[in-house]
Amino acid sequence: MSDKQPKRVFFRTVSVVLCSALLLASCQQHNNTQTFHRQFLSLGTLVNIEIAGADPQTAQAASTAVQKLLEDFTNQWRPDGEGELARINAALAAGESITLDADAQVLLTQATALSVKSGGLFNPAIYRLVRLWGFDVEDRADTPPPAAAAIAALVAQAPAMTDLQLEHGVLRSNNPAVQLDFGAYAKGVAVDRAIALLRSHGIRNAIVNAGGDLRAIGEYIGADGARAWRIGIRHPRAAGFLAAVQISGDECVFTSGDYERFFIYEGVRYHHILDPRSGYPATDFASVTVLHTDGATADAAATALLVAGEDQWRAVARALGLTKIMLVTRDGRILCTPAMCARTEFLTDVQPQQVPL
Ligand code: AMP
Ligand code: MG
């Protein structure tokens, strides 16, 4: 028997610290200001905060506040444990209604809107399916996938965000199969909130990077002056970067990938992003990267597009208002929308195919 206890995970595992996107900038001295760097574990991954062009005390105080925010957020929004989402899941499992505080109402409403726009492909109501597959624990063992009949039984119950009713702050479900997992979008919400908090401390140039998913504002300030932040996008099948994008102003980069959490059984790789229609891992893409102004949308969208596959990603992208998308197919092709191609520096020999939206 293994002495390794499965560890519950939230969002992504710490073992994927080799992020899908990494900050390529380094720390440098400039005009008595230094690029401030803080790193800690939160949101189930390694969080990096970079702050440029601020005095050290301000950067220190702001990043301390962000760390606290993200720790509280993690505790509240993991699907198990003692937080608000676990409390909601317990009530839903018991068939009971539950009164939500204002923050829970905001998150639930936003998640529902994104789910509906994605045609249900981003579906935070499928936590039971995620658990059936064992993707709620870190380092799932390479044991057989769930029985087809068990998967089919959950799919037949068709849990969806639209099964939930929120009236006057009271939530109830029409479908007993609904259990919530915000893992595909909460990191986006958290990064948005972290940037808003940094701004409230007067920070103008920063990156909040949660395991490769990030929001960047302002510019990187080095010894030779200010320039755009340069962000690397991880290769889904090799060490290192597939591409890099420049960000200045305010923008998010989110990637969903089949390499983030998976197990292999009898030579078949089963990954953690599930198609709610089939109950099985999505088949077409190895990774999907979305650039967007809003982190919550970018996060949910990257997941939804990975599920949508080659036939349907365009329709989902249009419904979610996306324009900058890069998709890597499981057979190694790189597709990018014109707006994404224009922004991206490709770092491999594979020529990207520009695809219209
Ligand atoms: P991400 O890395 O943002 O694509 O999120 C993946 C995580 O979201 C998984 O580990 C599951 O916890 C959860 N998940 C899997 N499939 C879906 C889906 N179709 N819709 C929403 N959440 C999902
Ligand atoms: Mg996501």
Average pLDDT value for residue range 3-18: 41
Give CA torsion, residues 120, 108, 357, 285, to 10 deg. -60
**Best of 303, 312, 313 to mutate for ligand 1, by most ligand atoms within 8 A of CB?**
303
pLDDT above 60: residue 223 = yes
pLDDT in tens, 267-306: 999 999 999 999 999 999 999 999 999 999 999 999 999 9
User: Residue 4's pLDDT is what?
Assistant: 36
User: Residue 189's pLDDT is what?
Assistant: 98
Q: Among 28-37, 147-156, 320-329, which stretch is predicted with the lowest mean pLDDT?
A: 28-37
Residue 269 pairs in a beta bridge with 264
User: Residue 50's pLDDT is what?
Assistant: 97
Residues with CB under 6 A from ligand 1: 12, 121-124, 126, 130, 135, 181, 183-184, 256, 260-261, 272-274, 276, 299, 302-303, 307
Ligand 1 atom 15 nearest Cα: 273
Which residues have a Cβ under 8 Å from the Cβ of 267 and sit 6 or more positions away?
none
Highest mean pLDDT among 23-27, 116-120, 138-142: 116-120
pLDDT in tens, 66-113: 999 999 999 999 999 899 999 999 999 999 999 999 999 999 999 999
User: Residue 8's pLDDT is what?
Assistant: 54
Three-state SS at 287: strand
Residue 179 pairs in a beta bridge with 126
Of all residues in the chain, the percent with pLDDT exceeding 70 is 91
Helix%, strand%, coil% for the chain, nearest 5 = 30, 30, 35
pLDDT in tens, 12-64: 433 333 333 444 433 444 454 579 999 999 999 999 999 999 999 999 999 99
User: Residue 21's pLDDT is what?
Assistant: 44
Ion ligand 2 contact residues with beta carbon within 5 A: 184, 256, 299, 302-303
Q: Alpha-carbon distance 296 to 115, whole Å?
A: 12
Three-state SS at 161: helix
